[in-house]
Amino acid sequence: MDKIRLLIVDDHSLVRQGLSQILSLEPDIEVVGEARDGEECLQKVKELHPDVTLLDINMPNMNGIKALRKLKDMDQNTKVIILTFHEEIEYLFETFNLGANGYIVKDAESDVLIHGIREVYNGVSYVYPTMAEGEASQLNMIRHVEGNGQETQKAQLTKREYEILTLIADGLNNREIANTLFISEKTVKNHVSNIFKKIKVNDRTQAAIYAYRNKIKSI
CB burial class (10 A; 0-12, 13-18, 19+) of residue 108? middle
Question: Helices 110-121 and 13-23, interaxial angle, to 10°?
Answer: 70
pLDDT tens digit sequence for 45-89:
999 999 999 999 989 888 998 899 899 888 678 999 999 988 877
pLDDT tens digit sequence for 131-168:
655 444 444 434 433 443 334 445 688 889 989 998 98
Question: Helices 204-213 and 159-169, interaxial angle, to 10°?
Answer: 110
The reported pTM is: 0.68
| Cβ contact 79:52 at 8 Å | yes
| Cβ contact 103:128 at 8 Å | yes
Q: Are strands 126-127 and 29-35 parallel, antiparallel or unpaired?
A: unpaired
